[in-house]
Amino acid sequence: MARRFKHGALGAAVLAAVSAAACTGPAPDSASGSASGKSAINVYLYQEPAGIFSPLAPSNGPDNQVMSFLDQGLLAVDPNYKLQPQLAQSYDVSSDAKTFTFHLRQGLKWSDGQPFTAQDVLFSYRLLADPKSTSATAGSFAAVEGVSDFVSGKAKTISGFSAPDDHTFVIKAAKPDIGLLAQISVAYVLPKHVLGDVPVAQVAKNPYFRAPNVTLGPYKFVDYKTNQYVHVTANPSYPSPAKIKDVYLKPMTSDVATAQLGNGGMDIASFSPADLKTVQGFKNIAVQEKAGAGFVRIALNQSKSYFKDVRVRQAFLYAIDRKALVAKVLGGKATVQNSDFFAGNTPAGINEYAYDPQKAKSLLQAAGWDSNRTVELQWVPGQRDRDATTTIVQSQLGAVGVKVKLKQAQAAEIPTTYAKKSYDMTLYGGGNYAVDSWNVNVITACDQQFPKGGNIVWFCDKKLDEQMAKANGTADDGQRKALYDQAVLEENAQADLMWLYDPTGLWAVNKRIKGFQAAGSQDSPFWNPAGWSL
């Protein structure tokens, strides 16, 4: 309790100090040991990296951000959540939505001068799909033809991956599966000439991943001083070498990073809506906003009988004034979420569940909600917007006759409550599933119920599953969009999750830097650092 208080007080106090700074105007330059004036910049990391810069390791925000300077995939997701060719010059999708052919860029070299070929891709994809490598994403590759036989030992190699020549790589799906493209083609490619001889079971532990000094991206790894910075430097082998020579990625508290923006000690940093006025007060800083990369939601445990009734779930949505919540708690820097699907991918006419406590009451009454029942809402405290949201949800649900008890939990405690199916409600953040609507399937499908997948609410709607599968198996873009639109309407009506809001990505950039494109979240990878200049 004391520690929590300290953190809260710390945030408030820094804010006060920094706000005062904004009122008096920023300092023109810095004596703070910054990289200003030189061909080097400082970039904020919202967390200390784990220090394993590996596509085999579980996804970790700050490590991914470092890797976005060093590594490349066949395709990459741009700041508008569209797939863009990266190592591939172009790609084709077969008319049966089963075969993806990537035509690789020619003349690419690893940072040690070795040529990049399709063999590197083949090696990387085999490794990523093989659970023996302790690849955290191996499950995503299960839909590739031949992976299940390979994993069970029936086949010696994976038939769904092939490299017919040095500049072509082919992925075959076990069944029509457009969504597979977004799930696996963005994986970072590893150097076969460095790791190819290491036994599969040992690769993940290879020292290479602590200091990945042979890479394909615009920057090369220099060193990682724990708790201080990750230093990367321009890779001369990159086709259009980066214009900024050195980049230091520094983990620190967001309050200190915000203060450093003003004095030039920090050049690029994400920040929270609460600091917007302060940051706008810095004359040397430009602010960029981007549609959020993931939305905050409340999971309602539908393995419990009282959340099985769709009317209860709808009533919970009607009971919360989410528009006011976004305006008050996030200063308007978020959008209200009304579906699992990305707002840009949803059709007109979905139910917005506008604030209507009377409707909520009558739905609860119709569903026979027991007003003496108390449900527990668990969340990991520490983020201002989420902490405030829980108390608003508690009070507004209370107003329609639902008693809510708040329970603060540690991040490590939450998975246990999934395993035991013991929780009532969990507030948490997840992705926006924007790149491909198929990504929603992992949190809604009957066959993805925890622990088989990410459906931690044990929601099941066979109709939705059929609509999703049909859409995902359709190669034609227009037809697929029409099918997904039906799925969105069904999912929106079923209210599988209590959608809250999608916080806008806010980034502060020193005006001396050109070409930076903000991402939707503080933990999103950086886009095209080679295009940044001073």
Q: Which of residues 209-248 bind other proteins (CB under 8 A)?
A: 210, 225-229, 231, 246, 248
Residue among 15 and 475 whose Cβ is closer to other proteins: 15
Q: Which two tokens stand for residue 430?
A: 């997840």
**Hey, which residues does 378 pair with through a beta bridge?**
407, 426
Residue 230 half-sphere exposure, CB side, CA atoms within 13 Å?
Answer: 30
List % helix, strand, coil for the chain (3-state, nearest 5): 35, 20, 45
- Our finding on whether 305 is near other proteins (CB under 8 A) is no
- Total residue count of the chain as it appears in this document: 534
Per CB under 8 A, the list member of 69, 123, 418, 526 interacting with other proteins is: 418
> Which residues inside 428-447 make contact with other proteins, applying CB under 8 A?
428, 430-431, 442-443
Angle between helices 462-472 and 477-494 (to 10 degrees): 160
- Our finding on whether 413 is near other proteins (CB under 8 A) is yes
Per CB under 8 A, the list member of 174, 198, 200, 256 interacting with other proteins is: 256
- Our finding on whether 1 is near other proteins (CB under 8 A) is no
* Helix (H) or strand (E) run with residue 466 in it: helix 462-472
Per CB under 8 A, the list member of 215, 254, 263, 492 interacting with other proteins is: 263
- Our finding on whether 27 is near other proteins (CB under 8 A) is yes
Residue among 4 and 373 whose Cβ is closer to other proteins: 4
Size of site (CB under 8 A) for other proteins:
80
Residue among 7 and 373 whose Cβ is closer to other proteins: 7
Per CB under 8 A, the list member of 1, 2, 31, 348 interacting with other proteins is: 31
CA–centroid distance for 154 within its chain: 35
Residue among 89 and 422 whose Cβ is closer to other proteins: 422
Instruction: Report H helices in 247-373.
Output: 254-263, 276-280, 310-319, 322-329, 357-366
- Our finding on whether 454 is near other proteins (CB under 8 A) is yes
- Our finding on whether 17 is near other proteins (CB under 8 A) is yes
Per CB under 8 A, the list member of 4, 29, 175, 324 interacting with other proteins is: 29
> Which residues inside 115-144 make contact with other proteins, applying CB under 8 A?
131, 134-142
Residue type, 321: D
Per CB under 8 A, the list member of 205, 304, 308, 470 interacting with other proteins is: 205
**Hey, which residues does 407 pair with through a beta bridge?**
378
Provide the greatest CA pair distance for the chain.
70
Residue among 399 and 419 whose Cβ is closer to other proteins: 419
Instruction: Report H helices in 96-199.
Output: 118-129, 147-152, 179-184, 192-195
Question: Which of these, 362, 378, 316, 345, lies nearest to 502 by C-alpha position?
Answer: 345
> Which residues inside 53-82 make contact with other proteins, applying CB under 8 A?
58-59
Rounded Cα distance, 230 and 390, in Å: 36
| Three-state secondary structure of 90-112 | EEEECCCCCEEEEEECCCCECCC
Which range binds other proteins by CB under 8 A, 166-174, 348-356, 453-461, 503-511?
453-461
Residue among 360 and 496 whose Cβ is closer to other proteins: 496
Which range binds other proteins by CB under 8 A, 52-60, 82-90, 93-101, 119-127?
52-60
Rounded Cα distance, 436 and 480, in Å: 11
> Which residues inside 389-408 make contact with other proteins, applying CB under 8 A?
none
